[in-house]
Amino acid sequence: MQIAVASGKGGTGKTIVSTSLAMCAPGRVQYLDCDVEEPNGHIFLKPDLATSERCTVIIPQILEEKCTYCGKCRDICRFNAITLFANTIMTFPEMCHSCLGCFRVCPDDAIVRSEREIGMLESGMAGDISFVHGRMRVGEAMAVPLLKAVKKKADKNVLVIIDAPPGTSCPFVEAISDADYVILVTEPTPFGLHDLKLAAVVLRNFSKPCGVIINRADLGDARVEQWCQQENIPVLLKIPFDRKIAEGYARGQCLVEIRPDLRPSLQALIEEILA
Amino acid sequence: MKEIVILSGKGGTGKTSLVGSLAYLAENKILVDCDVDAADLHLLLDPKPRSSHEFRSGVKAKVISDQCSGCGICVDLCQFEAITMDFAGPTALMNPLSCEGCGVCAHFCPEQAIVLEENYCGDWFISDTDYGPLVHAQLFAGEENSGKLVSLIKRQARELAEQTGLDLILIDGAPGIGCPVIASLASVDTVLAVTEPSQSGWHDLERVLDLALHFRLQSFVCINKWDLHPEMAASIEIACVERGIEVLGRIPFDPTVIECQIQGIPVVCNEQSPAAGAIREIWQALSSRQVNKE
């Protein structure tokens, strides 16, 4: 079972919700931080990151001594990662999507596998929670390959909580693609509502069941709740604005540590989703 | 011409609210919303569309089922797990959201049963606002190519600015440090990073500052909602100074920011708002410190 916590708009409280769900979950649980551009789950769960591995993607390396400059590799590459001028061939590794097309069309065996580091995959235990996150290398543009590597660590035998990246484009889609249920965390503001609608469109295209948590529920207006009602999307929980939560969050405390009184409602929420 | 981009790393620190206000304060500028998959700036600026354009980028592979023999070669070739086999056919099934448009499947299909179709993945607009022209876009939900769309709207904004004699491009960036953010940095002079006083805010800010450094860009920082945790705000300031980065100002937590968002106006329009006062000071400081491009 996978529950993804996503939002559309950034900074609505995905991480504070997902880390707290992991802490409240019954039985064994795994937390995957899929926001590889800006992973924050470790700040709250404080895992012992015992394992660390480099995450790489395959890129072509052209052996000039074998290359006959036929241009077939350049022609198949749709990402402009290979250019050819007369007798000079150049690759642009940062443009490469690792489709392996160039390897397959080269008639001269002039392309060998090289690799490009896209980030680190780190994992360990945070108490009883099995923790995994990816840290994308600064300067790297593509988040999806590392995000896929984080998701490959998902344990099929336990409850998996996924902390998704903000937005509604490819990293968000990849993060929620295997989820059985998606919790959308939003705030009751025009920005929150606008981005919630966009995220909900994606979930509808995937026929993913979802529910909404409204964070800082008293700072804004009623339009998010009205919209949820109109769209038949359940509002699972409303978390009021509370300086104590903001201060605890700032220090890296989990919601259930700051406000233990919220634990029963979070537990009930998970049980309802699992049922 | 100067280009200023507002970034944050972490989402929700107040980029768009700040850009909305800078739009009001800055003169002779064009605005660009580079958060193309969750664009919100238009909600503050009430744009009147001048022109609307389709954004087509890359291709998606499509299986022509009648021609597919079900050999499965494409399934093995695809590096993106976008193709599965429907053994009832048997025929290959394409998942367009996983397809990255590399075209390898089409190239090697022995039956020519896969075609590549141009991908219509969003719309972009030139609009007029009370504060100047705005170039913005909406990438369709779940699409890729956000970096290309960002590059496109930035190029459009620059052309428009040159044609109409505007000397500032003010850019609302996306959260994160990936493809749309990197695309938004091209030809930028100054990064203004907005953070919040929390460990997450600082963690993500550091990565954005590293990214700016990677591209040798001048960065400034401002701390939003600083009074939610004054000690954390102070330690972020110290850490910035240690990195040689100037903190231009602090914006207090102010519910007026949300009230103005609900009204659909920049917060600086509200004279009484404490946040508005702080934003005016930040803009003054930023204007006086900008370097001229050679």
CATH of the domain at B100: 3.30.70.20
B138 & B113 share domain = no
Whether A83 shows a pLDDT value over 60: the answer reads yes
Domain finish residue from B120, B146, B162: B120
Strand partners, B136: B125
The structure tokens listed for A42 are 């470790």
The answer to whether A6 faces chain B, any CB pair under 8 Å, is no
Task: Tell me if B51 is assigned to some domain.
Answer: no
For the stretch B29-51, pLDDT in tens is 999 999 999 999 999 999 999 99
Report the residue from A195, A202, A220 with minimal CB separation from B142: A202
pLDDT band of B143, cuts 50, 70, 90: confident
Q: Please, what sign has the CA dihedral across residues B163, B166, B172, B176?
A: positive
Task: Tell me if B158 is assigned to some domain.
Answer: yes
What Cα–Cα distance (Å) separates residue A250 from each residue in A45, B122, B202? 14, 37, 10
Map tokens 């609009």 to a residue. B127
Map tokens 């540590």 to a residue. A257
B109 & B209 share domain = no
Residue of B nearest to A39 (CA): B204
> Domain of B183?
2-46+130-289
The 3-class SS string of chain A reads: CEEEEECCCCCCCHHHHHHHHHHHCCCCEEEEECCCCCCCHHHHHCCEEEEEEEEEEEEEEECCCCCCCCCHHHHHCCCCCEEEECCEEEECHHHCCCCCHHHHHCCCCCEEEEEEEEEEEEEEEECCEEEEEEEECCCCCCCHHHHHHHHHCCCCCCEEEEECCCCCCHHHHHHHCCCCEEEEEECCCHHHHHHHHHHHHHHHHCCCCEEEEEECCCCCCCHHHHHHHHCCCCEEEEECCCHHHHHHHHHCCCHHHHCHHHHHHHHHHHHHHHC
A137 & A47 share domain = yes
Report the residue from B35, B102, B176 with minimal CB separation from A97: B102
pLDDT at site B145: 77
Residue of B nearest to A174 (CA): B98
B221 & B250 share domain = yes
A202 & A260 share domain = yes
- How many domains is chain A partitioned into structurally? 2
CB A220 within 8 A of CB A41: no
Task: Tell me if B93 is assigned to some domain.
Answer: yes
A141 & A201 share domain = yes
B74 & B203 share domain = no
A39 & A135 share domain = yes
Residue A146 burial (10 A CB sphere; 0-12, 13-18, 19+) = buried
Flag if B12 and A9 touch (Cβ within 8 Å).
yes
Flag if A170 and B102 touch (Cβ within 8 Å).
no
The answer to whether A178 faces chain B, any CB pair under 8 Å, is no
Flag if B38 and A194 touch (Cβ within 8 Å).
yes
Task: Tell me if B229 is assigned to some domain.
Answer: yes
CATH code of the domain containing A82:
3.30.70.20
Report the residue from B38, B198, B255 with minimal CB separation from A167: B38
Residues in A 123-152 with any Cβ partner in B closer than 8 A: 136, 138-143
Q: How far apart are CA B204 and CA B206, in angstroms?
A: 5
Strand partners, A37: none
A159 & A91 share domain = no
A232 & A167 share domain = yes
B157 & B285 share domain = yes
**Mean pLDDT over all residues of chain A?**
96
B169 & B42 share domain = yes
Domain finish residue from B120, B142, B169: B120
CB B50 within 8 A of CB B126: yes
Residue of A nearest to B35 (CA): A167
Report the residue from A168, A190, A252 with minimal CB separation from B199: A252
Whether A51 shows a pLDDT value over 70: the answer reads yes
A105 & A122 share domain = no
CATH code of the domain containing A206:
3.40.50.300
What ipTM is given for this predicted complex? 0.93
Task: Tell me if B10 is assigned to some domain.
Answer: yes
Per-residue pLDDT, averaged over B208-228, amounts to: 97
Look at residues A5, A33, A258, A233 and name the one whose alpha carbon lies nearest to residue A149: A33
Residue type, B45: L
The answer to whether A12 faces chain B, any CB pair under 8 Å, is yes
Q: Is the peptide bond before B90 cis (omega within 30 degrees of 0)?
A: yes
Give the three-class secondary structure for B228. helix
CB B114 within 8 A of CB B63: yes
Q: How far apart are CA B137 and CA B127, in angstroms?
A: 10
A125 & A154 share domain = yes
Report the residue from B12, B142, B180 with minimal CB separation from A10: B12
Flag if B199 and A43 touch (Cβ within 8 Å).
yes
Flag if A104 and B142 touch (Cβ within 8 Å).
no
- How many domains is chain B partitioned into structurally? 2
Map tokens 């945790």 to a residue. B229
Whether B292 shows a pLDDT value over 70: the answer reads no
For the stretch A157-178, pLDDT in tens is 999 999 999 999 999 999 999 9
Whether B294 shows a pLDDT value over 80: the answer reads no
B277 & B188 share domain = yes
pLDDT band of B293, cuts 50, 70, 90: very low
B28 & B161 share domain = yes
Q: A-B interface: how many C-beta pairs under 8 angstroms?
A: 186
Task: Tell me if B206 is assigned to some domain.
Answer: yes
Report the residue from A101, A173, A191 with minimal CB separation from B97: A173
Q: How far apart are CA A67 and CA A60, in angstroms?
A: 13
**Mean pLDDT over all residues of chain B?**
95
A223 & A245 share domain = yes
Chain B residues with beta carbon closer than 8 angstroms to that of A201:
141
- Residue B131 half-sphere exposure, CB side, CA atoms within 13 Å? 28
Flag if B79 and A168 touch (Cβ within 8 Å).
no
pLDDT at site B291: 56
pLDDT at site B36: 96
Domain finish residue from B120, B142, B159: B120
Strand partners, B247: B221
Flag if A11 and B12 touch (Cβ within 8 Å).
yes
B275 & B153 share domain = yes
Chain B residues with beta carbon closer than 8 angstroms to that of A8:
38
Instruction: Give percent of chain A with pLDDT exceeding 70.
Output: 100
Per the model's pLDDT, the better-predicted residue between B133 and A205 turns out to be B133
B142 & B276 share domain = yes
pLDDT at site A209: 97
CB A141 within 8 A of CB B182: yes
A97 & A218 share domain = no
Look at residues B83, B79, B76 and name the one whose alpha carbon lies nearest to residue B61: B83
Backbone Cα Rg of chain A: 22
B134 & B115 share domain = no
Task: Tell me if B14 is assigned to some domain.
Answer: yes
Residue B158: CB atoms within 10 Å? 19
Axis-axis angle for helices B199-214, A243-251 (nearest 10): 50
Flag if B37 and A246 touch (Cβ within 8 Å).
no
Distance from CA of A186 to the nearest CA of B (A): 11
Backbone Cα Rg of chain B: 22
> Domain of A98?
64-109
B20 & B80 share domain = no
Task: Tell me if B125 is assigned to some domain.
Answer: no
